[in-house]
């Protein structure tokens, strides 16, 4: 009736890998941000999958929490990126290294 959990988990893992690699290799702050969202949602997918497998709604509840927190995080993150762009006329994350020791 339903998809085997393994396929869904495999998709989640693939999404996570894509997100992680994206964060590591892309320099644009916006794309990195999107990749972070991808990773978050792959985790959400994993949570929902295990919730279904175990017949326990706790995992789904946790996924909602993640969505809510992600929404807040998007607000803050986008605001940061906008301000960064105003400051540097660029969103290149590698140029923002003022915290280098």
Partner 1 sequence: MMAVSALAQASIVTAPAGSPAAWAWLLPVVPALSAGVLLLGGRRLGRGAGWLAVAISAITLGMAGWLVTWLAARPPGQRRVTHTVADWISAGELEVGWAVLVDPLSAAMLLLVTGVGTLIHLYSIGYMAGDERFSRFFGYLNLFLAAMLVLVLGESLLVLFVGWELVGLCSYLLIGFWFDERPNASAAKKAFVVNRVGDVGFLVAMFVVFGAVGSLSLTQVLPAADTVAGGLVVAVGVLLLLGATGKSAQIPLYVWLPDAMAGPTPVSALIHAATMVTAGVYLVARMSPWYAQVPGVGMLVAAIGAATALVAALIACAQLDLKRILAYSTISQLGYMFMAVGVGAYGAGVFHLLTHGFFKALLFLAAGAVMHAMGEHTDIRVMGGLARAMPVTAVTAGLATLAIAGFPLTAGFFSKERILAATADTDGGAALLVVGLIAAALTAFYMARWFWLIFMGRPRWGRGAAPIPADAGRSTAPPPPRDLHPHEAGWTMAVPLVLLAVGSAAGGLLTVGAEHGLLAQWLAPSVVAFESSAHLIGHGLLQAIAITLALAGLAAGAWRYRAGPVATSPASAPVVGFARDAFRVDALLRAAVVTPGRWLAEGAVWVDTHVIDGAVNGAARLTRGLAQGGRQLQTGLVRGYALAVLVGAVVVLVLLARTNLTAAVFGALGAP
Binding site for partner 1 (CB under 8 A): 4, 6, 20, 23-25, 27, 32, 50, 53, 93-94, 96-101
Instruction: Please check whether residue 44 is in contact with residue 63, taking contact to mean a CB–CB distance below 8 angstroms.
Output: yes
- Residue closer to partner 1 by CB (options 20, 70) is 20
For tokens 């959400």, what's the residue?
44
User: Taking a C-beta distance cutoff of 8 angstroms, is the pair 29, 91 a contact?
Assistant: yes
Round to whole Å and give the CA distance between 66 and 93. 25
- The least distance separating partner 1 from the CB of residue 71, rounded to whole angstroms, comes to 21
Q: Which is nearer to partner 1, 86 or 100 (CB)?
A: 100
- Least Å distance, CB 27 to partner 1, is 7
């Amino acid at each position: 009736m339903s998809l085997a959990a393994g396929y869904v988990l495999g998709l989640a893992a693939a999404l996570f890998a894509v997100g992680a690699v994206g964060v590591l290799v892309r320099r644009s702050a916006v794309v990195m941000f999107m990749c972070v969202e991808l990773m978050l949602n792959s985790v959400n997918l994993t949570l929902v999958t295990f919730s279904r497998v175990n017949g326990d709604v706790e995992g789904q509840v946790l996924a909602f929490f993640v969505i809510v927190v992600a929404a807040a995080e998007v607000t803050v993150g986008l605001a940061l990126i906008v301000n960064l762009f105003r400051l540097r006329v660029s969103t290149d994350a590698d140029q923002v290294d003022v915290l280098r020791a």
